[in-house]
Amino acid sequence: MPVSDSGHEASRARAVRLQRYLAEAGFGSRRACELLIREGRVAVGGADAEIGCTVIPGVDHVTVDGRTVAAERKEYWLLHKPIGVVSTSKDTHGRRTVVDVVPARGRVFPVGRLDMDTTGVLVLTNDGSLAHALLHPSREVTKEYEARVSGRVTARERERLQSGVQLEDGPTLPAEVEVLRQSHDECRVRLRLREGRKRQVRRMLKAVGHEVISLHRTRFGPLGIEGLPPGGCRELSDEEIRSLWEAAGAAPEEAFHV
**Catalytic residue flag (residue 60):** no
Give the pLDDT confidence score for residue 33 in this predicted structure.
Answer: 92
CB 71 within 8 A of CB 10: no
Domains: count for the chain? 3
Q: How sure is the predictor about 58, in pLDDT bands with cuts at 50, 70 and 90?
A: confident
Is 255 within the bounds of a domain? Answer: no
13, pLDDT greater than 60: no
**Separation between Cα atoms, residue 118 and residue 134, nearest integer Å:** 20
- Helical H segments across the chain, by residue range: 9-12, 18-24, 30-38, 98-101, 128-135, 155-163, 200-207, 238-247
The domain of 176 spans: 142-220
Q: Report residue 44 CA to chain centroid gap.
A: 27
pLDDT score recorded for residue 73 = 81
User: Is 184's pLDDT higher than 60?
Assistant: yes
pLDDT band for 4, please (50, 70, 90 cuts): very low
Regarding predicted confidence, which is higher, 58 or 23?
A: 23
Question: Does one domain contain both 19 and 86?
Answer: no
More confident call, 244 vs 30? 244
Q: What pLDDT digit, counting tens, does each position of 110-139 carry?
A: 999 999 999 999 999 988 889 989 999 999
Which CATH number goes with the domain that contains 23?
3.10.290.10
What CATH number does the domain containing 131 carry? 3.30.70.580
Q: pLDDT tens digit string along 231-248?
A: 999 999 999 999 999 999
Number of other residues whose CB lies within 10 A of the CB of residue 214 = 13
Q: What is the pLDDT of residues 85-112, one digit of tens each?
A: 999 888 888 899 999 999 998 889 999 9
| Catalytic site residue from 5, 60, 100, 115 | 115
- pLDDT (0 to 100) of residue 3: 44
Q: Packing angle between helix 30-38 and helix 128-135, nearest 10 degrees?
A: 110
Q: Which of 36, 68, 100 is the last residue of a domain?
A: 68
Structural domain includes residue 56:
yes
Quickly state the pLDDT bin for 256 (edges 50, 70, 90).
Answer: very low
Q: What is the helix, strand, coil percentage profile of the chain, to 5?
A: 25, 30, 50
Residue 254 belongs to some domain of the structure:
no
Residue 253 has pLDDT above 60, yes or no: no
* Residue 182 counted as domain residue: yes
CATH number, residue 150:
3.30.70.1560
Cα dihedral sign, 113-116-120-124: positive
Residues 117 and 243 placed together within one structural domain of the fold:
yes
